[in-house]
Structure 1
Amino acid sequence: MDIFESVNMAVKTLTANKLRSTLTMLGIIIGNASVIAMVGVGQGAQRYAAEQFETLGPNTLFIIPGSDEARQRTFEVERALTLEDAEAIASQVPSVRAVAPQLQSQQPVTAGNRRVSTLIVGTTPDFTIVRDFDMDHGRFFSEQDVQRNTRVVALGSDVARRLFDDSNPVGQQIRIRNLSFEVIGVMESKGAFLGNNQDDAVYIPVSTMSSRITGNTSPYGTEVTFISVTARDENAINAAQFQMSNLLRLRHRVVNEDSFTIRSQRDALEIVGNVTGALTIMLAAIAGISLFVGGIGIMNIMLVSVRERTQEIGLRKAIGASQSDILLQFMIEAVILSAIGGLIGTGIGVAGVTLVAVTTPLQAGVSTAAVALAVGVSGGIGLFFGVFPARQAARLDPIVALRSA
Structure 2
Amino acid sequence: MTVARTAALRFGATLVNRTEVVDLQKDSNGNVNGVVVKADGRTFTVSTKAVVNAAGVWSDDVRALDEAEHPRSIRPAKGVHITVAWSKVRNTVAAVIPVPGDKRSVFVVPWGQFTFVGTTDTDYTGPVDDPQCNEDDVEYLLRALNGSITETVTTDDILGTWAGLRPLVADPEASGRTADLSRRHKVRRSDSGDVTITGGKLTTYREMAADTIDEVLSEVLDADRITRFRRRSKTKHIKIHGANGYEELVDSADTISPLGGDQVRRLADRYGSDATTVLAIAESDQLLAEPLVPGLHYLRAEAIFAVRYEMATTVDDILSRRTRARLETRDASADAAAAVAALLAPELGWDEAEQARQVADYRARIDEELEAIVH
Give the greater-gyration-radius structure (CA).
1
TM-score by length of 2: 0.23
TM-score (norm 1): 0.22
Asked which structure has the greater RCO (Cα within 8 Å, sep 6+), the reply is 1
Q: Which is helix-richer, 1 or 2?
A: 1
